């Protein structure tokens, strides 16, 4: 019980401490127009430093990250075969795969997987 209380207090205190340190560091920062502009060896910038990225690339990368995390969630299911009975394992695995396939179908139907629209 005491250990749980200690961990809870630690869980609350660390983010508060990080926010407090961030506020102290942020007040000391000197912001000016020159600091926010890109460095071009003393010359005026030739073009914008912040180029826009393709929204299609961003969407494909987000979909990749989501499905990549879901596949890493699937990996422990192989070990789980020995720990549970077969009926429960099949139920959990098929429901998870159906959700994954349904998500892929929705992304495909929405057109998020098409690179050129």
Look at residues 100, 109, 96 and name the one whose alpha carbon lies nearest to residue 66: 100
CB-CB contact of 115 with 60 (8 Å): yes
One pLDDT digit (tens) per residue for the chain, 117 residues: 888 899 999 999 999 999 999 888 876 666 666 666 666 566 666 666 667 777 888 888 888 898 888 888 888 888 888 888 999 999 989 999 999 899 889 988 988 888 776
Instruction: Label residue 59 exposed, middle or buried (CB < 10 Å: 0-12, 13-18, 19+).
Output: middle
């Amino acid at each position: 019980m005491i250990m749980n209380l200690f961990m809870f207090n630690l869980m609350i205190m660390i983010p508060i401490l990080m926010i407090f340190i961030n506020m102290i560091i942020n007040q000391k920062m000197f912001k000016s127009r020159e600091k926010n502009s890109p460095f071009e060896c003393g010359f005026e910038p030739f073009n914008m430093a912040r180029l826009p990225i393709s929204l299609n690339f961003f969407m494909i990368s987000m979909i990749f990250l989501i499905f990549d995390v879901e596949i890493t969630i699937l990996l422990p299911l192989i070990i789980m075969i020995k720990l549970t009975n077969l009926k429960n394992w099949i139920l959990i695995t098929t429901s998870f795969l159906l959700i994954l396939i349904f998500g892929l179908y929705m992304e495909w139907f929405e057109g998020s997987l098409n690179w050129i629209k």
